[in-house]
A and B are shown apart, each in its own frame.
Chain A
Amino acid sequence: MRADPAEYRLVSPGNLQAVLSLIASEPAQWLPIAGGTDVMVLYSAGKLSNRKLINIWNIPELRQIEVFPDRIRIGAACTYTALRQHEIVSREFLLLATAASWTGGIANQNRGTLGGNIANASPAADSLPALLVYDAEVTLISVRGERRVAYRNFHTDYKQTALAADELIRDISLPRRFSGYISHARKVGARNAQAISKVCLAALGQISNGTIRDVRLAMGSVAPIPLCLTETERALLGKQIEPSLIDSARRTVAKEIRPIDDIRSTARYRAAVAGNLVAEFLEKLVASETNA
């Protein structure tokens, strides 16, 4: 059944303080809506349980990308298009720019936002593994003040987050210390465009003389939350990349992920592909040195 617009309220306070005050006045009642690429889909299908919506698309503070010497700060309502077009994002945070280019078609990239992707908390979201490997920090804001949460602690369980009932995601901050890393972004879906991932990988690494000096791995669609592969990282760090290491990395990946069967794929397929993607990244690391 299509939703009846008369049963829903949508207010546009137009500034951040007024938005926070309204959210605080009735915690968990007001659902923020930015570009609407998730919220409006649920709404149109008659599946949106919140009847009160608050417009945050027109809040200037949430639409800025600020560049500092040691980090960049991305406003939560910045669109995928804004990320793709930003010089520093596309140069130093290629995994994020690439994930933005995977997300829907151009029309959805013009409306979908990074903060919305985080708040929607889908384990299949393409931009979230990139935020994990870049060591993102999210700023949560409410009338009580601001607090910062390491992004790797933000998702607590399937669709559960650290966001309190009166809080809004203000920005996502990324340290500018990964530009010397080899990066690898790979999405496997049913088709190239407009498909939700079966598995996606964001990976960063440094190698010298065939030895892994640093490695950061995160995957989407392989667990109830976007997953850091910390066990696999630990098993790889300081090791020489050779075929036996790649084989054991595949086994560690398979142990660490918790994929399921669903409409898009099977747990078995996902486990096999997850191992393949990590192997592909390790081969790319080796090749980066031989080609250099």
Chain B
Amino acid sequence: MNPLPETSATYEISFSVNGEVKKVFALPMERLLDVLRNDLKLTGTKEGCGEGECGSCSVLLDGMLVNSCLVPVAQANGATVVTIEGISVHAKMKYLQEAFLECGGAQCGICTPGMILAAVHLLEKKPEPALADIREGLAGNLCRCTGYMQIFEAVTNAARRKVTK
């Protein structure tokens, strides 16, 4: 017989979120997604599938695109997290936001924060991506409204603007 599981205790997690040091008391197995939304009230990060398939909970963890629904918050202790709220104050956002608006890259809006994070991650690695790079970079982000073409076009346009300006 397995003994009953020992209950877990909350402890202080300290990490940088959008450039500010944040301290929260959390259980180690709480999902980063829930800590961002519930404790830090950063509700721009959305929950879609909750199993790493849809990308709507995408954030940057130490500069890497991750699904925050699959990250236990203990693994974010001491790390640097950037959410959509942190991107929106960044210069990069200007080009992406304008392009998403112009191309109709956002409709219901649930996938949009994740799409933007995935696009930022892609453009940091490849400032002038080919369409195949964009398709691959956003393959983990599902959209049920746009049919994707407007989103691919928005990222293409954003890259072009950033390069030409």
Chain A residues within CB distance 8 Å of chain B: 3, 5-12, 33, 35-37, 40-41, 43-45, 51-53, 55, 57-58, 81, 101, 104-108, 110-111, 192-194
* The residue from A37, A51, A52, A58 contacting B70, defined by CB atoms under 8 A apart: A37
User: Within 8 Å CB of A43, what residues of B?
Assistant: 29
Residues of chain B within 8 A (CB-CB) of A107 are 52, 55, 58, 65-67, 118, 140
Known: A107-B118, A110-B65. A44 touches B50 (CB 8 A): yes
Residues in B whose Cβ lies below 8 Å from that of A6: 7-8, 27
> Can you list 22 A-B pairs with a CB-CB distance of less than 8 A?
A5-B8, A5-B27, A9-B28, A9-B29, A12-B75, A35-B70, A36-B70, A44-B31, A44-B69, A44-B70, A45-B51, A51-B5, A51-B6, A52-B5, A55-B72, A55-B75, A107-B55, A107-B118, A107-B140, A110-B66, A111-B70, A193-B139
Taking the nearest CB of chain B, how far is it from the CB of A52, in angstroms? 7
List the B residue with the shortest CB-CB distance to A44.
B50
* Interface hits, B56-93 → A, CB 8 Å: 58, 64-67, 69-72, 74-75, 77
Beyond A10-B72, A40-B70, A40-B71, 11 extra complex contacts between A and B, CB < 8 Å: A8-B8, A9-B5, A12-B28, A12-B77, A36-B71, A41-B51, A51-B5, A57-B75, A106-B122, A107-B67, A107-B118
Chain B residues 1-51 with CB under 8 Å of chain A are: 5-8, 27-31, 50-51
Q: How far does the alpha carbon of A11 sit from the alpha carbon of B67 in the complex, in Å?
A: 21
Q: Cβ of B102 < 8 Å from any Cβ of A?
A: no
Measured between beta carbons, the chain B residues less than 8 angstroms from A53 are 29, 72
From residue B58, how far is it (CB to closest CB) to chain A in Å?
Answer: 6
Who on chain B is nearest to A8 by CB? B29
* B140 touching A194, Cβ below 8 Å: yes
Establish whether residues B66 and A111, one from each chain, have CB atoms under 8 Å apart when the complex forms.
Answer: yes
The interface of chain B, by Cβ under 8 A from chain A, is 5-8, 27-31, 50-53, 55, 58, 64-67, 69-72, 74-75, 77, 118, 121-122, 135-141
B28, B52, B53: the one contacting A40 at CB < 8 Å is B52
Contacts of B27 in A (CB 8 A): 5-6, 8
Asked if B7 contacts A108 (CB within 8 A), the reply is no
Residue on B nearest A104 in the bound complex, by CB: B140
- CA separation between A159 and B53, bound complex, in Å? 23
Q: Given the complex, which residues of B lie within 8 Å of A40, measured CB to CB? A: 31, 52, 69-72
Closest to B65 in A: A107
Determine how close the nearest CB of chain B comes to the CB of A72; give it in whole angstroms: 23
User: Taking the nearest CB of chain A, how far is it from the CB of B29, in angstroms?
Assistant: 4
- Residue from B52, B58, B65 in contact with A37 in the complex, judged by beta carbons closer than 8 Å: B52
**Residue from the list B8, B55, B77, B138 in contact with A9, Cβ < 8 A:** B8
